[in-house]
Amino acid sequence: MHSITEHAASTDTCCTNAIQNTIDHVHSQGGGTVLIPPGRWITGTLQLRSGVEIHLAHGAILQGSEQRADYREVAIAGEYGGSEGGFLIEANDCDNIAITGTGIIDGRGISFMDGFRSPEGPFIRKAQDWRPRGLGFTRCTRITLRDFTIRDAAQWTIHLTGCEDVLCHSLRILNRTDIPNNDGIDPDRCRRVRIIGCHIEAGDDCIVLKCTKDQPELGDCEDILIQGCTLISTSAALKIGTESHGNFRRIVATGCSICQSHRGLTIQLRDHGNVEDVIFADCTIETRHFHPLWWGQAEAISITATPRNDTTSVGSITGVHIHNILCNGENGVFIHGHPDAPIRDLSLHDVRICVGRSSRWQGGQHDLRPSGGEEHGGLYEAPCPALLLAHCVDSRIHDITVRWKDPIPEWASYAAEIIDCHHCRIGRINGDAAQSDLDPILER
């Protein structure tokens, strides 16, 4: 184990070079561990090397610099929001790398904010034109991220692009829930990723699987396991999409607890990619409304397929299986395919939905954002049933329980509304409509 202090790292100045020299030295010796000892260590971009583990000792804080010049610029950004800011720690084409320990990585995200976007009050911050990111690994294999805390990211916290054999275990990601684009973990065109026992708080999505449009040669997003995580998000706690320029296959999320979130379990297909063989099981979900600039309508489960813009052909969602889910919040389950791309082979069973008001924000909208070529296109007013199922084929819905609790939202409607669904088996939906003059179930 080699301490960064052996290469003249000091807590009273930015020590990027000293830490990088330690990493390079350990790599040149065939690999090993770089120790970040207790103390506050300020750094710009660090480049991790093959065979090297960064170990954050208890009491260590690796803190990002506030100076743009200390970061290596990279040209990677999401399709909606964000900037091309550099990473605090990056790795490219590396094998067998790790960050471990019980110390802290601090992104100092608040330093890169400039007031608020929301005129009604302090609900969503306005980012400066440039802001850094947390960890960025591209085309790497055998990655271990374990036990440390990473906090206050200015935008994407952990971005994995084209990586394979990744373990994220017992991480604590503590981001501000009013900063946009500060996603927790983003596996982007990755394979064989395990995210286990993590606690994540974020203004944007906590865990989001992507196939961004750049670097299609990196392939699809496949064989992802998310297990035993606790998630809090002002956007979606767990999401597939919206960037769906490749395929998503064999995704399992189980045993997660979602609370204080704008959305729970989410699939947003907007591009030509396909989503296949997904299991959401054994989860508890608590949702609420937030400021309308945040995507979402407090849906516990939201699965949507619609073209991103007028020139996009949307792919398909097939084989999504959802069971043993407890939903409690200001909205229920929203499953909405597209007439040209219906959702196929969906199963939804043993799902309990309880809906009641809990926030100050108005609901009564169906949210298909982004669509129509606009970031906020696809948001329209409509009554909200506890379960909406639209444009589905060959699907099975049974053992659904619906309850309404006071105060019942004024926009609440049927226990279930079923629209343009073919060859679907609907059985045992237990519960009344929110309004006494409505039938429990509407099919049209």
pLDDT computed for residue 337 by the predictor: 98
Whether 56 and 104 have beta carbons less than 8 Å apart is answered as yes
In whole angstroms, give the CA distance from residue 264 to residue 326: 11
| Domain formed by 39-49+89-100+135-443, architecture | 3 Solenoid (2.160)
Burial of 185 (0-12, 13-18, 19+ CB in 10 A): buried
Nearest C-alpha neighbor of 350 from the set 324, 388, 386: 324
In whole angstroms, give the CA distance from residue 438 to residue 426: 19
Residues near 360 by beta carbon (within 8 Å), at least 6 away in sequence: none
Q: Which string of DSSP letters, residue by residue, matches 26-72? A: HHHTT-EEEEE-SEEEEES-EE--TTEEEEE-TTEEEEE-S-GGGS-
pLDDT computed for residue 268 by the predictor: 98
Which tokens belong to 316? 């398909």
- Tokens 């889910």 -> residue: 325
pLDDT computed for residue 80 by the predictor: 55
pLDDT in tens, the chain (444 residues): 999 999 999 999 999 999 999 999 999 999 999 999 999 999 999 999 999 999 999 999 999 999 999 999 887 655 655 667 899 999 999 999 999 999 999 999 999 999 999 999 999 999 999 999 999 999 999 999 999 999 999 999 999 999 999 999 999 999 999 999 999 999 999 999 999 999 999 999 999 999 999 899 999 999 999 999 999 999 999 999 999 999 999 999 999 999 999 999 999 999 999 999 999 999 999 999 999 999 999 999 999 999 999 898 999 999 999 999 999 999 999 999 999 999 999 999 999 999 999 999 999 999 999 997 777 789 999 999 999 999 999 999 999 999 999 999 999 999 999 999 999 999 999 999 999 999 999 999
User: What is the pTM assigned to this prediction?
Assistant: 0.97
263 DSSP assignment = E
3-state SS string over 81-111?
Answer: CCCCCCEEEEEECCEEEEEEECCEEECCHHH
